Structure 1
Amino acid sequence: MNDPAAIEISNVEVRYDTTTLSFDCRVAAGGIVAVAGASGSGKSTLFHLIAGFEEPDRGEIRILGEDVADWAPSKRPVSMVFQDNNLFAHLDVATNVGLGISPALRLSAHDRAAIEKALLRVGLEGFAKRLPSTLSGGERQRVALARALVRRRPLLLLDEPFAALDPGMRAGMRNLLRELHAEEGNTILLITHHPEDVRALADSVLFLDQGRIIAHDSLERFLERRDNAAIDRFLGTA
């Protein structure tokens, strides 16, 4: 029997006043999937559906073979890192990371050791007592990534995590993410507007246009496509 897919989205619709978004896809476990498309194409909505922050008007979402319709976001085997990193300015780095383990911050000695290990893995050893305001944009994103790591969920959603970073920081974060993925063997979905992120990280690509998934290809196949104007614009081949 085949292992279940990381994500199966079947006949899912989200209806708004002036538009309806429709999603169908099956994402195999263990890869890095770039999720691309123009602003407003439905990428963040797709992530919110998977994470449980938004409910579909119809259709089914299965994660690792389980129907998660009635599962709260905290119960889903999913961690999500947002573009703005969602750090609490008044809490130090270690405490921000600890929220990934216990929102009430009831942390055991084992939990605190896991926090130290996560900070070491993202290159922030010695930063535990620093406040977010003293960190660079890249360092704040590393804290958010450490918080996701301590949750130890098999599915990681990254919503434009490199958007505020300069090119050098982007390259460093891509390298870090690739290393962590090799260690964890988890499934990563990454929203990006940058073709270089796709080329550097992705095994496959989900491309959205006007609220639909219009392509779900291996990286090689996606980069070779010349049959869609929206994809051509994204790749700069128009």
Structure 2
Amino acid sequence: MLNIDGLVTSYPDWRVSFSATLPKGEITALIGPSGAGKSTLLGMIAGFVPVESGTLSFDGEDLLPLGPAERPVTTLFQDHNLFLHLSVFDNIAIGLPPGLRLSPAQQAQVKQAAERVGLGDMLARLPEQLSGGQQQRVGLARALVRGKPLLLLDEPFSALDPALRREMLAEVARLACEQGITVLMVSHNPEDAQLIADQVLFVDEGRIALQGTPDILQNSDHPGLLRYLGQ
């Protein structure tokens, strides 16, 4: 379980404060208007954004003293950061601890991650030989090979066409279920939350204004949510 309690950071003209609980092994969608603080919250959890006060723990472990590399967290961004001169295999392997050579066990991990996202027969290809969706799958496989229990998705599929985006979301849901991964997913599209999320956090003006099942997108009369949905 990810516990966020009074997590605060400030900018010269803006302050955010977040509190929420994310059940272990579930998918939580983080929605809200642009500039509300969604990506800031992910950055605080991942360790990229300084935290002024509050607590952050995962399965009882205090995450705040830990650096980004030490946290049980993997983040997948819209820019999947593939190295164009490296094969699919090598791009996935970057997710493993650095070393002079991969051990046989690590090589097996890479191949298994590739197979899980449907790239098992494309390990020798370069990124330029892949479609946009396949490139996103490489990024997802790299996240999986790290073996960390908390996956943060900062709109990694927003540039894909609707059908491919739904396919990738379904892939995330399947993999999260199979491996018991806790997922926090930022999206500007409420449909994404309704497709795969177990719960929804609505962020408004630097705080979590609503938390509940995806049904709140249809049943809540919160003014900020209604404005966001254009109702």
Q: Same fold (TM over 0.5)?
A: yes
3-state DSSP of counterpart to 2:21: strand
Q: In the aligned structure 1, how far is the partner of 2:206 from the partner of 2:132?
A: 30
1:67-216 alignment, distance < 5 Å: 67-104=62-99, 106-216=101-211
Q: In the aligned structure 1, how far is the partner of 2:23 from the partner of 2:131?
A: 34
Q: Which range is displaced more, 160-169 or 87-96? A: 87-96
Cα contact 1:98–1:105 (8 A) shared by 2: no
Q: Structure 1 residues 105, 36: CA separation in 2 closer, same or farther (over 3 Å shift)?
A: farther
Structure 2 residue 214 is matched with structure 1 residue 232: no
Q: In the aligned structure 2, how far is the partner of 1:129 from the partner of 1:42?
A: 39
State the 1:93 CA deviation: 1.1
Cα contact 2:25–2:177 (8 A) shared by 1: no
The two structures have a TM-score, normalised by structure 2, of 0.95
Q: In the aligned structure 1, how far is the partner of 2:45 from the partner of 2:100?
A: 26
1:132-164: CA deviation from partner (whole Å, max 9, x where unpaired): 222221111100110111111111111101111
3-state DSSP of counterpart to 1:219: coil
Q: In the aligned structure 1, how far is the partner of 2:63 from the partner of 2:167?
A: 35
Q: In the aligned structure 2, how far is the partner of 1:226 from the partner of 1:126?
A: 49
Q: Which runs of 4+ in 1 moved over 3 A?
A: 103-106, 233-236
State the 1:75 CA deviation: 1.0
Q: Structure 1 residues 147, 192: CA separation in 2 closer, same or farther (over 3 Å shift)?
A: same
Cα contact 2:117–2:171 (8 A) shared by 1: yes
Q: Structure 1 residues 104, 163: CA separation in 2 closer, same or farther (over 3 Å shift)?
A: farther
3-state DSSP of counterpart to 2:163: helix
- Which residue of structure 2 aligns with residue 20 of structure 1? 15
Q: In the aligned structure 1, how far is the partner of 2:220 from the partner of 2:160?
A: 29
- Which residue of structure 2 aligns with residue 3 of structure 1? none
State the 1:204 CA deviation: 0.4
Q: Structure 1 residues 104, 45: CA separation in 2 closer, same or farther (over 3 Å shift)?
A: farther
Q: In the aligned structure 2, how far is the partner of 1:105 from the partner of 1:127?
A: 24
3-state DSSP of counterpart to 2:57: strand
Cα contact 1:61–1:68 (8 A) shared by 2: yes
Kindly tell me the number of residue pairs found equivalent between the two proteins: 231
3-state DSSP of counterpart to 2:41: helix
State the 1:235 CA deviation: 3.4
The alignment's C-alpha RMSD in Å is: 1.4
1:171-195: CA deviation from partner (whole Å, max 9, x where unpaired): 2112211211221111111110111
3-state DSSP of counterpart to 1:213: strand
Structure 2 residue 43 is matched with structure 1 residue 58: no
Percent identity over paired residues: 44
Cα contact 2:190–2:217 (8 A) shared by 1: no
State the 1:221 CA deviation: 3.3
Q: In the aligned structure 2, how far is the partner of 1:111 from the partner of 1:209?
A: 42
The two structures have a TM-score, normalised by structure 1, of 0.92
1:89-124: CA deviation from partner (whole Å, max 9, x where unpaired): 222111111111124464111111111111111011
Q: Structure 1 residues 168, 222: CA separation in 2 closer, same or farther (over 3 Å shift)?
A: closer
In structure 2, what residue type is equivalent to 1:51? A
